[in-house]
Amino acid sequence: MTNIQIQSEQEFTYDGRVGAFLFICGPIVSVLGYAWLLNELTSSYASSADLAPPFVVMAAGGVALLIGCVMMLIGRTYRHVVTVQQSDRAADPQAMRDGR
């Protein structure tokens, strides 16, 4: 009888680690941009406020999140170790016929 055991590991490459960083920091940047936008809208000079920079910061955070997802998917390496063990039972045809 043959016993096969496979152990697999995965690691992030440099691109994968950068992707994980963007995946974590993208939403944080978006929240900061949203807080900035709320601050601009609630200020007493809201009619003269420039709203473009907060929207750019929010969009940059969203794009960083999406790019981070893709980089985490492609930035991986896999390592597999396959171990094959033959048992003595397979070498004995009489034991296989008897079901031992």
pTM, two decimals, is: 0.70
The pLDDT of residue 1 is 79
User: So what's the pLDDT on residue 63?
Assistant: 97
User: What distance in Å separates the CA atoms of residue 81 and residue 30, rounded to the nearest whole number?
Assistant: 42
Angle between helices 14-42 and 52-74 (to 10 degrees): 160
Q: Which residues contact 51 (CB under 8 A, 6 or more apart)?
A: 37, 40, 41
What confidence tens digit (pLDDT) does each residue in 50-82 have?
A: 889 999 999 999 999 999 999 999 999 999 999
Q: From CA 63, how far away is CA 36, in angstroms rounded?
A: 18
